[in-house]
Amino acid sequence: MSVHAHESQRDTTASLIRVTLPDGTTHVVPSGTTAKELLRKYTRQNAHEILAVKVNGQPKDLNTSLTEDVSVEPITFASPEGKEIYRHSSAHIMAQAVKEVFPSALLTIGPPIDEGFYYDFDFERPFTPEDLEKIELRAREIIKANYPIERLEMSKDEAIQFFHDRGERFKAEIIRQIEDPQVSLYRQGDFIDLCRGPHVESTGRIKALKLLSSAGAYWRGDERNPMLQRIYGTSFPSQEELDAYLTKLEEIKRRDHRKVGKELDLFSIQDETGPGLILWHPKGALIRLQIENFWREQHLTQGYELVYSPHVARLELWKTSGHVDYYRDNMFAPMSVESAHYQLKPMNCPFHILVYKSHLRSYRDLPIRYAELGTVYRYERSGVLHGLLRVRGFTQDDAHIFCRPDQIEGEVKAVLTLTMHVLHRFGFTDCELYLSTRPEHAVGSQEKWEQATAALEAALQGGGFAYTIDPGEGVFYGPKIDLKIKDALGRAWQCSTVQVDFNNPERFGLCYIGEDGKEHQPIMIHRALLGSIERFFGILVEHYGGAFPVWLAPVQVQVLPITDKQHAYGQTVVHHLRRAGLRAELDARNEKIGLKIREAEKAKIPFMAVVGEREAQSATVSVRERGGVNKGVMTVSEVVDLVRSCMPSDELASVPQ
């Protein structure tokens, strides 16, 4: 079957069109002019930087013919769309290389992802590091060949037959599920792949490409389907940018919370317990205690009431809440107890609703704010579990606010202010906020959605928060605000969320007696500041690389006797430090002082207090700070003052003076 590109065959002298550029200028050009020709003539943008274009806001190939009045905007690598196009084109180059090095490999999908791309192949064995080297070498040759990348169009039936004839059964399966009668393909050299595009002009536009790793992945993410072989890669417009990214990857590996957690003995995940279930070791538990204590103190200060709820409940509760209908795939199987069915809780909200329902409420009682560090259980497939970041049992820093409609704005503004304060304490000052609006499938009237969305937006604006609209990304029961934090390596993490819910109050028949003496339905606000303690802890570990700030460090001062003769004095120092409210330990091992110091540094302990014969006689210690800084000889009280000076002021309120 022949394959050809369908191009517009118009008499370009017959008509003229008007094209508007981002600077507001309008240009009259012949119909059929390509976007590339237009931009080369009328924009000062460096032609080598332009990867594709937006035509009336829609990403298109540079060779797209312009046949009507349109707006045209160049797309560069600096934009999110540019990175996606660049890396999607890179994925096609990698796929071509795989097919040429391993012709028996079958194509499936190859999307761009954050900071890179991947492609899944049906292949008889896992790819080895040596395989990746061969594939990367061939990919570079394809780039050097600078093949033009051309868009092709076929009818759906033609495309199915085309890929069937090539033995690409996965591609044929994908096309069968496409509703449009026409599909697009892209060709570079002898390689043709199904794709909506757009892509860069030619393979030579990719300047620096690196294959990173390989892994197994099920077709369509379902373990009942064939196991595929996935190759991850990344690409950049220059080798310098690629090298900087690879250096960043090495730092990410060094900070990996699973690696650091093992080195510092913070937590473990063991087969006997089961995947996705965390065992907190003493030092990790101590850090978690500091996080939770701070969380509780802040909530009590802000007028929240603490509640506790059970880990299981009758299945009927989850039917009423809608979880059985909407969330069943993420819930563990029910258990039978005395002829009744019980369910491990996937969320805390139904319990908080029942607490609200336990009394008749007046409009004067609202808002009511319930907060709980509640452990929930969700069924996650084993293939997606990832240390502390993706687990099956985790503790949500959950809270639910029951309020009147006129209180939404004020409550949300207070939540955002509290969120910023809490995140700043943990060292996250770079945040991005997103307002998510009504999705296609939603419950509740348009009027309620508009009222709630307006209240969220007013809270954002009233609090002076910069934000981005995320159209159609609200949850089915109401609009929401999501907050993403950036860690020390510039990675974004979505932790905090504020969600307006009119669905559950209706399902559970919640009400309050209004000023008019009649029953009214309250609004329910779901909110979490940290997301989950487990995931947030993992993010913290990687943010600090295990070198926690003094207020969080499980051991703040390690006392190091030089010889056994100073053990008694060292224990006295530890006793005084602990009485002052500091977390101190004695290294009483019969080891050389150099080894003790190195291991304390490796354990990332903020301060080391070395005691020898001279210090024991003068009732002092020789202090070293994490990182090798010598702080000199101090009395124990001076050490206490030094450690306290490194702690937040409100943290000192709970420390004995």
The catalytic residue positions are 349, 378, 396, 398, 400, 480, 526
619: its two tokens: 């009732």
Strand partners, 610: 560, 622
Q: How many angstroms separate the CA atoms of 109 and 281, rounded?
A: 41
Q: Could you tell me the CA-to-CA distances from 318 to 52, 128, 312, 326, 341 in Å, in that order?
A: 49, 46, 10, 10, 11
Q: Could you tell me the CA-to-CA distances from 428 to 459, 519, 543 in Å, in that order?
A: 21, 43, 9
Strand partners, 494: 484
Residue owning tokens 């003496």: 517
Neighbouring residues of 81: CB distance < 8 A, sequence distance ≥ 6? 52, 54, 59, 75
Q: Are 615 and 598 in contact (CB under 8 A)?
A: no
Q: Are 74 and 190 in contact (CB under 8 A)?
A: no
Supply φ then ψ for residue 473, to 5 degrees. -105, 10
Q: How many angstroms separate the CA atoms of 155 and 183, rounded?
A: 6
How would you write 425-494 as a 3-class SS string? HCCCCCEEEEEECCCCCCCCCHHHHHHHHHHHHHHHHHCCCCEEEECCCCECCECEEEEEEECCCCCEEE
- Burial of residue 400 (number of CB atoms within 10 Å: 0-12, 13-18, 19+): buried
Q: Could you tell me the CA-to-CA distances from 369 to 203, 249, 321, 569 in Å, in that order?
A: 57, 42, 19, 50
Sign, CA dihedral 125-131-134-136, equals positive
Supply φ then ψ for residue 573, to 5 degrees. -60, -45
Q: How many angstroms separate the CA atoms of 460 and 434, rounded?
A: 10
Q: How many angstroms separate the CA atoms of 108 and 172, rounded?
A: 10
Supply φ then ψ for residue 510, to 5 degrees. -70, 150
Residue owning tokens 């003076």: 657
Residues across the chain:
657
Neighbouring residues of 110: CB distance < 8 A, sequence distance ≥ 6? 88, 91, 92, 94, 95, 117, 118, 119, 120, 193
Query: What are the helix (H) ranges across 79-155?
Result: 80-101, 129-145
Buried b (16+ CB within 10 A) or exposed e, 85-107: bbbbbbbbbbbbbbbbebeebbb
Respond yes or no on whether the N-terminal peptide bond of residue 198 is cis (omega within 30° of 0). yes
- Burial of residue 5 (number of CB atoms within 10 Å: 0-12, 13-18, 19+): exposed
Supply φ then ψ for residue 485, to 5 degrees. -105, 155
Q: Are 552 and 427 in contact (CB under 8 A)?
A: no
Q: Are strands 431-436 and 149-155 parallel, antiparallel or unpaired?
A: unpaired
Q: How many angstroms separate the CA atoms of 353 and 346, rounded?
A: 15
**Tell me, what DSSP letter sits at residue 545?**
T
